[in-house]
């Protein structure tokens, strides 16, 4: 772990890094759509480098509905079009395509800064929905965290 203070790295982030490196054996960017949306970078040698943490989609949508009293709560799903023609469609577009833009933008910046090729792996509850619209997510692995826990358990018996 190449983080300045390795004790600060969340266990979920380490577990995902272990599982992804075990599967791919290359440089990685792991995007986890949980309570927070995390981006974790693993070097081609398997070293955890660091990453970025953003508010998760659920937190962002709750904040929008709580602080913009006139906006209704909507189902989180991909709208038919990007340009919403209703308030519901506009909110769905902002949430879905806003997060797609966030992911693609951060992945692009991380790749440029990392200086090595990275496979982009996504996990977490909304990974499949966002990956379907993303230009940068290459693999969705819904079992990544559980696989990482299993691997670490097996290695530390």
- pLDDT-based confidence at residue 41 (cuts at 50, 70, 90): very high
**Residue 12 a catalytic site member:** yes
DSSP letter string over 29-85? EEEEESSEEEEEEE-TTS-EEEEEEEE-HHHHHHHHHHHSTTSPP------S-SS-S
pTM confidence score = 0.92
Domains in the chain, ordered, with CATH? 6-148 (3.30.420.40)
Residue whose pair of structure tokens reads 């800064």 in the numeric block: 113
Distance CA 27, CA 5 (A): 21
Encode pLDDT of 102-140 as tens digits.
999 999 999 999 999 999 999 998 999 999 999 999 999
Exposure letters 20-37 (e unless 16+ CB within 10 A, then b)? bbebbebbbbbbbbbebb
Distance CA 149, CA 155 (A): 10
List the catalytic residue out of 12, 40, 141, 147. 12
Encode pLDDT of 45-61 as tens digits.
999 999 999 999 999 99
Please say whether the beta carbons of 31 and 123 come within 8 A. yes
Summary mean pLDDT of the chain: 93
Distance CA 91, CA 147 (A): 34
């Amino acid at each position: 772990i190449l983080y300045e203070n390795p004790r600060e790295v969340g266990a979920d982030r380490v577990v995902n890094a272990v599982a992804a490196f075990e599967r791919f054996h290359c440089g990685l960017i792991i995007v986890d759509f949980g309570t927070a949306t995390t981006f974790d970078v693993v070097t081609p040698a398997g070293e955890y480098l660091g990453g970025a943490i953003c508010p998760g989609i659920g937190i962002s949508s709750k904040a929008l509905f709580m602080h913009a009293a006139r906006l209704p709560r909507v189902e989180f799903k991909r709208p038919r079009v990007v340009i919403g023609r209703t308030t519901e469609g506009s909110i769905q577009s902002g949430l879905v395509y806003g997060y797609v833009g966030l992911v693609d933008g951060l992945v692009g910046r991380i790749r440029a800064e990392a200086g090595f090729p990275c496979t982009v792996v996504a996990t977490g509850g909304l990974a499949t929905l966002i990956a379907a619209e993303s230009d940068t997510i290459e693999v969705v692995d819904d079992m990544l965290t559980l696989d990482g826990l299993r691997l670490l358990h097996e290695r530390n018996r």
